[in-house]
Amino acid sequence: MHELGITRNIVAIVAEHAAGRRVTRVALDVGRLSGVMSEAIRFSFDVVAQGTCLEGARLDIRDIEGLGRCRICATQFATPALYTPCACGCRDIERIAGEELKVREFEFETSEHRASASA
């Protein structure tokens, strides 16, 4: 389960950007074609965040559907798998969406108020 290592990296990246401030929410984009199981990240997040400034933070994961464009006929279509061919039969597909794995934003508390940042 490589998602445990990925979750550790996510927590480390957000903690570094938070600079010691308590993080209350982390929002991720996880593409369905990225090879990463968002449920495994969700499962391990609380354990990995223990003892860090992310402990108790809410994790919001937005699953991004696969989307491609045929380089021959320019049709844009859903790609539920990496090698989904175009209806025209072509397999030369430009990936438009679905391979993402990124921290979209996180929220943290400051002494005066709550703030938000994108990573």
89 vs 118, more confident:
89
pLDDT at position 112 = 47
Calculate mean pLDDT across residues 34-46: 96
- Per DSSP (E only), the strands in the chain are 23-31, 58-64, 67-70, 76-78, 93-97, 101-109, 114-117
* Neighbouring C-beta atoms of residue 52, cutoff 10 Å: 15
The answer to whether 98 and 78 are in contact (CB under 8 A) is no
The domains of the chain, with CATH numbers, are: 3-64+99-117 (3.30.2320.50)
CA gap 50, 70 in Å, rounded = 45
- Report pLDDT digits (tens) over 65-97: 999 999 999 999 999 998 999 999 999 999 999
- The predicted pLDDT at position 117 comes to 56
Predicted local distance difference test score (pLDDT) of residue 51? 97
